[in-house]
């Protein structure tokens, strides 16, 4: 009996330890093949997690911590359930579309499924702080002098914009305020200039790549261009 009690205590402590070390900002989709997804970027402010839901797959009941923006790298047809009842059906999200996710407790029975015939790939951008990072700054939309940017979403925590760069186009010299995340929807060949001189040429990651942009002053002469033969498609997220 004492040995059994010891084993049960060890199992209980192991389970508690696992819960304590689990990243509270990451989602778990229990029914898909890779239920934990892949962390593509993380720092002290945000974590970006990529998840792929195959055709016919349902994520399984799960919770959301809130303060999340989801970005579709590969969109598709979604259906959703809440507490076992269909909430919506056959809604289409395109490549590069975004949306905001508030907190949802596990007890709500939240579950979504890919009811289309192509895999859906998305990245969750989860904010780690409960309040804005720059409360004393007027954070505004990012500006590329030579290119139009589409405002996808804005609230009191962030601004999400989309820019498409055709072959041969350059952004124009611009600044970055810092506190920005970029996500590559469609990758391509790019070159970057600093002070009018080429600093880098090559592939801008792959579809679904992501990264962080620190502040760059306007007088640095920073700009990038599409030096390949395919469209480059990006989503920029400016944290407030």
Strands 110-114 and 197-203: unpaired
pLDDT(86) > 50: yes
Note whether 123 and 76 are within 8 A (CB).
Answer: no
220 domain residue, yes or no: yes
145 domain residue, yes or no: no
11 domain residue, yes or no: no
Please tell me the predicted confidence (pLDDT) of residue 11: 38
Cα 142 to Cα 58: distance, rounded to the nearest angstrom = 36
> Domain ends where: 71, 94, 127?
127
N-terminal to C-terminal alpha carbon distance within the chain: 58
How many separate domains does the chain show?
Answer: 2
69 domain residue, yes or no: yes
Tokens of 26: 């990451």
CATH of the domain at 160: 2.60.120.10
CA-wise closest residue to 227 among 203, 205, 207: 203
Note whether 226 and 125 are within 8 A (CB).
Answer: no
Residue 165 and residue 114 share a domain: no
Residue 120 and residue 36 share a domain: yes
Lowest mean pLDDT among 14-23, 85-94, 178-187: 14-23
- Torsion (CA) 64, 69, 70, 72 in degrees, nearest 10: 180
pLDDT band, residue 20 (cuts 50/70/90): very low
Residue 178 and residue 99 share a domain: no
CA 76 and chain centroid, separation: 16
- Mean of all residue pLDDT scores within the chain: 91
- Which residues constitute the domain of residue 204? 150-239
48 domain residue, yes or no: yes
Residue 180 and residue 102 share a domain: no
pLDDT tens column, 90-101? 999 999 999 999
pLDDT tens column, 39-60? 999 999 999 999 999 999 999 9
Please tell me the predicted confidence (pLDDT) of residue 22: 65
103 domain residue, yes or no: yes
Per the listing, tokens 């700054």 go with 137
Residue 101 and residue 52 share a domain: yes
Residue 229 and residue 156 share a domain: yes
pLDDT(16) > 90: no
Please tell me the predicted confidence (pLDDT) of residue 144: 96
Strands 210-216 and 176-186: antiparallel
Cα 71 to Cα 98: distance, rounded to the nearest angstrom = 4
Residue 227 and residue 156 share a domain: yes
Please tell me the predicted confidence (pLDDT) of residue 1: 52
59 domain residue, yes or no: yes
Please tell me the predicted confidence (pLDDT) of residue 14: 38
CA-wise closest residue to 180 among 217, 139, 137, 225: 139
Cα 76 to Cα 207: distance, rounded to the nearest angstrom = 16
Please tell me the predicted confidence (pLDDT) of residue 19: 39
Please tell me the predicted confidence (pLDDT) of residue 23: 86
Residue 122 and residue 157 share a domain: no
Beta bridge partners of 68: 101, 126
Residue 106 and residue 161 share a domain: no
pLDDT(17) > 90: no
Give me the phi and psi of 15, to 5 degrees please: -65, -40
199 domain residue, yes or no: yes
pLDDT tens column, 146-171? 999 999 999 999 999 999 999 999 99
pLDDT tens column, 124-144? 999 999 999 999 999 999 999
């Amino acid at each position: 009996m004492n040995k059994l009690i010891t084993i049960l205590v060890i199992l209980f402590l192991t389970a508690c330890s696992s819960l304590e070390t689990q990243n509270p900002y990451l989602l778990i989709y229990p029914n898909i093949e890779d239920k934990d997804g892949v962390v593509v970027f993380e720092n002290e402010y945000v974590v970006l997690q990529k998840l792929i839901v195959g055709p016919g797959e349902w994520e399984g009941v799960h919770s959301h911590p809130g303060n999340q923006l989801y970005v579709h790298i590969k969109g598709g047809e979604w259906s959703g359930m809440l507490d076992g009842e269909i909430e919506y059906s056959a809604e289409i999200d395109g490549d590069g579309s975004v949306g905001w996710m508030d907190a949802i407790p596990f007890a709500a029975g939240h579950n979504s499924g890919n009811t289309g015939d192509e895999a859906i790939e998305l990245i969750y951008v989860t904010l780690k702080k409960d309040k804005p990072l720059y409360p004393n700054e007027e954070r505004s939309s990012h500006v590329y002098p030579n290119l139009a940017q589409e405002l996808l979403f804005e609230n009191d925590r962030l601004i999400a914009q989309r820019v498409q760069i055709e072959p041969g186009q350059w952004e124009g010299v611009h600044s970055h305020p810092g506190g920005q995340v970029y996500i590559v929807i469609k990758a391509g060949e790019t070159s970057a200039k600093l002070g009018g001189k080429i600093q880098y040429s090559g592939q801008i990651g792959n579809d679904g790549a992501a990264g962080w942009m620190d502040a760059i002053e306007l007088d640095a002469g920073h700009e990038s261009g599409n030096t390949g033969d395919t469209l480059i498609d990006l989503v920029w997220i400016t944290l407030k």
